Amino acid sequence: MTLWNWQILRAGRLLLDGGGMFGIIPKVVWTRTVPCDDRNRIEMHHNCLLLESADPDPALGRPRRVLIETGTGDKLDPKMSAIYGLDGRTCELAVLDAGVDPAEIDLVVVTHLHFDHAGGLTRRCRTAETPDWTAAPNQASGDATDLKLCFPNAEVVAQRREWHDAIANDAVMTRTYYRDHLLPLEIPLHDGRPRLCLVDSPPPFPPGYTPHRDERPATPVTDRMTEVTPGIRVFLTPGHTWGQQAVIFDAPDGHSAVFTPDVMPTHHHLGQAFSLSYDVEPYTSMVTKRWFLAEAADRDWLLVLDHEPADPRYRVRRTERGWFELDPPV
């Protein structure tokens, strides 16, 4: 079994509309615990994880390094950066601050391909750099067209359904799947291998089947996992997007840690109906959240929440009322 040492990388602040982040939950309810600014925005963060194999990879002569999630990056123009409250911090800077050369990231796993999760895969060209990819005017997410790959030697893992939906721009939001976050991934690696690795994890429920509100999948979650490298697996958590995935890995302490995507972006989204207005299928998000939390409680997963502004690590336990509570790790 391959075990992974890991650390949380903070890739900058993100401000999003509170109504959008809490969907049908009235403002009078969510503002009891979540403050908003004068533009109705709540503060969140881009959380990423840096994993290093506990044992060196013989082929590399060093630990194998995996990055989970990449944040928004630096490509949005000043107007959009101000709207989202970006502070200039990026995943690339966080990797450098951790003492790792971005060129020594071997694999990147993204939960989905929205701009605030996959935007950091590419960056603006700097002075005297040769671009890896140049965007046409209608392909740019901001005011930069000459781009570099942030992690030039890394394969990038996403669900195949997520990739196809992103390329087709099938989303509730019109500007979340940007071409300059996606098309550069079609550039092969230096050795000619495809950069983009698309996986097909089994869905929780059969296609076309509508589960009841509190129904759990018939197949164990372990049977629905896809190993993307030894000790790291992904599984579908649909609702926010059809191809959204969670990432689970084995830590040296004997526990499994799960990077939790937008099925529950912060601990304030624990409630079953506390879903995002941006979800492609809010009902599916609600169903997914219940079985996901049940698995986390039953299997003693350590969850790491993708947008939590405080400590994003939580364990899940059942309550006497039939729902769940979150406890920070001891």
Averaged pLDDT for residues 77-94: 97
Q: What is the DSSP string of 168-219?
A: HT-SSSSSSS-HHHHGGGGSPPTTS--SEEEE-PPPSS-TT----TTPPPSS
Q: Is residue 283 scored above 70 in pLDDT?
A: yes
pTM of the model: 0.96
DSSP letter at 131 equals: P
How far is the C-alpha of 131 from the C-alpha of 252, rounded, in Å? 39
Domain with 109, as residue range(s), is: 4-327
Per-residue pLDDT reduced to its tens digit, 216-232: 999 999 999 999 999 99
How far is the C-alpha of 176 from the C-alpha of 43, rounded, in Å? 19
Number of independent structural domains in the chain: 1
Which of 104, 108, 106, 79 is closest to 11 using CA atoms? 108
Averaged pLDDT for residues 34-55: 97
Q: Is residue 173 scored above 80 in pLDDT?
A: yes
CATH number of the domain to which 12 belongs = 3.60.15.10
